[in-house]
Structure 1
Amino acid sequence: MPRRMFISRAALAFAVLAATLAGCGQSAPATNSAQKVTLRLGYLTRITHASALVGLDKGLFAKNLGPDVTLDVKPFGQGTEEVTALLAGQIDAAYVGPNPAFNAWQKSGGKAIKIISGSASGGTSLVVKPGIQNAQDLRGKTLADPALGGTQDVSLRSWLKDNGLQTNPQGGGDVFVKPTKPESAIVPAFIANQIDGAIESAPYDVQLVKAGGVKLWDDPNTITILVVRQEFLQAHPDVVSGLLKGQVEANDLIHSNPDAAAQAANATLASALGKGLPPDVLKASFEETKFTNDPGAGSLKDQVHKAVSVGLLDPLNLDGIFDLHLLNDVLKGSGQPQVDA
């Protein structure tokens, strides 16, 4: 074989190999593709999770995730149960209360989850028996909440402490705090005079008022956020972006047509629980809750301080827990103000 021909063929082979390698390098981002992905999403069966409830009923998540993503939805009764599922890799994203999310962050050394959006604030009240007019009237009384270490539990214990009343995780102290499972048992316990009040989120606080209770204190802080497992976020940012688009559209509907949004939320609750809410409870629950994509970083940091102060959380640094760049891309694309961490 002539030497010139040998050199030409060798150069050609090298060029083909180089092109192949370059093509492989360019195809690497395909690992982030939404193709053939299952997104396992958790939420709580409360109106304070209406961003999820509305998004599910109206098909907003499915539309924005696209046909190549399977949405596997899992309703939960408590945020502490959601966090257990997140840490075990059983779900990929969850609408959850702040304090369970803090626990997931702490238990995993900052490696398990990221807060990628807000969802709701407010919608939470301490409802007590008539005749209880201030915090001091609660001394020696029994109050219920959904779960030890949950967001409502921390808020209640912190508020009592600010008013000079001590509690402990075992249920003792100046006020007896009784975490109650299932959460739906709190209203019957109130009616039966087994408890003197409870801190609850919509719709349960509204149901307590309907059962004869009076609101003693409203908690205005962030009550629901959206978190995602870091591993899933890194592997499928396009899927997470689709989830966020669905949420933003759900909140847009809540703001533009609250009646239609309330009916959509109620339909999801009826599907998950076997029955929906009465019209008056549904309406009042929406009216007392603020739905927002902003996680409220200041509120969350304040809630960390509260949890530490009542002994339900070790000192915790939230640096790195937020990842809002995908949310801000979605908000920018829809002409809405961006949010800060």
Structure 2
Amino acid sequence: MSSRTIRALALATAAVAASTALAACGSNDDNTAEGTSGAAAEAKTINLGYFPNITHAPALVGVNKGLFKDALGSATTLETKTFNAGPAAIEALLSGAIDATYIGPNPAINGWSTSKGTALKIVAGSTSGGAGLIVKEGINSPADLKGKKIATPQLGNTQDVALRAWLKENGLNADTNGGGDVSVLPQDNATAVQAFAQGTIDGAWVPEPNFSKLLLESKGKVLVDEKTLWPNQEFVTTHLIVSQKFLKEYPGTVKKLLQGHIAAVKYINDNNADAQTAANAQIESLTGKPLKPAILAAAFKNLKFTHDPIASSLYTSAKHAEEVGLLKPVDLNGIYDLGPLNELLKADGQPEVSDAAAS
């Protein structure tokens, strides 16, 4: 199934590239594959970033099953780098150490803001859902959180912003130093999982698979499933971004990367059980420790894998970050470039996606 999709998309890519290449100029960059130019320009190498996390399943599956390599073909070598946090991935993109990465919305917004709109483009959606607030027994409402300690993965990250915005909407305040009505304690996910099990924190707003770990292994309870806060229960958890410089110089390679991404999302949705196995095998190869079967299954069930970047939720997340003092006002106009993705989706008979601020 996946090989047919890649072949079909490859033909679409070639047709689109051929129709525009004559009007384009060539590149003399040392990374340009021999015999390519203009809209067909391909790099000899592409450096792709992703996280060893189930919310990055399209990347995990795409790498494990060779879908990116199949799409890129012999002209381009795929190099991968893994990260544990969005800011590190953005720093790598800004420095040129990577050309593209799977990443959460708020780090992408911060990268766009820091570079004044010159560093990156969001070129595809990847994952929706799979985050929320897990708490210990006895906490049944926002009011019960007063005086409690709640963890998030990192100050200003996607889940940290979501928690602070939700607290504010419920009349509770939390400052960036751990003070206020609720003490918000940014800490990495592994530390938060251990702290919750030991009882040193009262809850955590975390993404999968940590959401399911706290729920199933530490007998926590769901106070907020974040998807219930969003229209159609959809919000962006992970999307695919590309360096603007790389996109401009090697549009042919970006389209082929998107072919692999489309094939990975389709593979997950058509072969869920095998996709879980592939994703877990990739996590094990990267970290040395696979997810337990029950956690893996629960996490996959709580996530939706989609090409749609769910743009309206990105704009809302930026507004939330501004409202809680973690982001200066930023103009996100132009942050998306969904043209290449939509050309491929249309050629494959799939619905196109939108970058509209309102759903």
With normalisation by structure 1, the TM-score equals 0.90
What CA distance in whole angstroms lies between the structure 2 residues aligned with 1:41 and 1:184? 24
1:80·1:147 contact (CA, 8 Å) conserved in 2? no
Q: Percent identity?
A: 46
2:104·2:238 contact (CA, 8 Å) conserved in 1? yes
Residue 79 of structure 2 is aligned to residue 103 of structure 1: no
One-letter amino acid of the structure 1 residue matched with residue 78 of structure 2? L
Residue 51 of structure 2 is aligned to residue 37 of structure 1: no
What CA distance in whole angstroms lies between the structure 1 residues aligned with 2:151 and 2:24? 57
Deviations 1:278-313 (A, max 9, x none): 111000000000111000111111111101000111
Q: What residue is the counterpart of 1:328 in the other structure?
A: 342
What CA distance in whole angstroms lies between the structure 2 residues aligned with 1:67 and 1:338? 29
Q: Identify the match of residue 232 of structure 1 among 223, 246, 265.
A: 246
What CA distance in whole angstroms lies between the structure 1 residues aligned with 2:83 and 2:108? 15
2:49·2:80 contact (CA, 8 Å) conserved in 1? yes
Q: What residue is the counterpart of 2:195 in the other structure?
A: 189
Q: What residue is the counterpart of 1:12 in the other structure?
A: none
Long gaps (5+) in structure 2:
1-21, 28-35, 228-234
Deviations 1:99-146 (A, max 9, x none): 000000000000000000110110112101111111111111111111
What CA distance in whole angstroms lies between the structure 2 residues aligned with 1:64 and 1:85? 24
* Deviation (angstroms), 1:38: 1.4
* Deviation (angstroms), 1:25: 8.7
What CA distance in whole angstroms lies between the structure 1 residues aligned with 2:116 and 2:48? 23
2:106·2:156 contact (CA, 8 Å) conserved in 1? yes
What CA distance in whole angstroms lies between the structure 1 residues aligned with 2:66 and 2:289? 20
One-letter amino acid of the structure 2 residue matched with residue 239 of structure 1? T
Q: What residue is the counterpart of 1:179 in the other structure?
A: 186
What secondary structure is seen at the aligned counterpart in 2 of 1:62? helix
CA change 1:66–1:172 in 2 (3 A) is same
Residue 82 of structure 2 is aligned to residue 82 of structure 1: no
One-letter amino acid of the structure 2 residue matched with residue 303 of structure 1? S
What CA distance in whole angstroms lies between the structure 2 residues aligned with 1:305 and 1:229? 24
Q: What residue is the counterpart of 1:54 in the other structure?
A: 61
2:42·2:250 contact (CA, 8 Å) conserved in 1? no
What CA distance in whole angstroms lies between the structure 2 residues aligned with 1:76 and 1:165? 33
Q: What residue is the counterpart of 1:28 in the other structure?
A: 26
Residue 175 of structure 2 is aligned to residue 168 of structure 1: yes
Q: What residue is the counterpart of 2:325 in the other structure?
A: 311
1:46·1:201 contact (CA, 8 Å) conserved in 2? no
CA change 1:38–1:251 in 2 (3 A) is same
CA change 1:235–1:177 in 2 (3 A) is same
Deviations 1:223-253 (A, max 9, x none): 1011000000001111111111111111111
Q: What residue is the counterpart of 1:217 in the other structure?
A: 224
What secondary structure is seen at the aligned counterpart in 1 of 2:174? coil
What CA distance in whole angstroms lies between the structure 1 residues aligned with 2:143 and 2:342? 44
* Deviation (angstroms), 1:317: 1.4
291-300 vs 27-36, which deviates more?
Answer: 27-36
Q: What residue is the counterpart of 2:210 in the other structure?
A: 204
What CA distance in whole angstroms lies between the structure 2 residues aligned with 1:323 and 1:99? 17
What secondary structure is seen at the aligned counterpart in 1 of 2:294? helix
What CA distance in whole angstroms lies between the structure 2 residues aligned with 1:147 and 1:90? 23
After superposing on structure 2, the runs of 4+ consecutive aligned residues of structure 1 that deviate more than 2 Å are: 24-36
CA change 1:161–1:335 in 2 (3 A) is same
RMSD between aligned residues: 1.5
What is the aligned residue count?
317
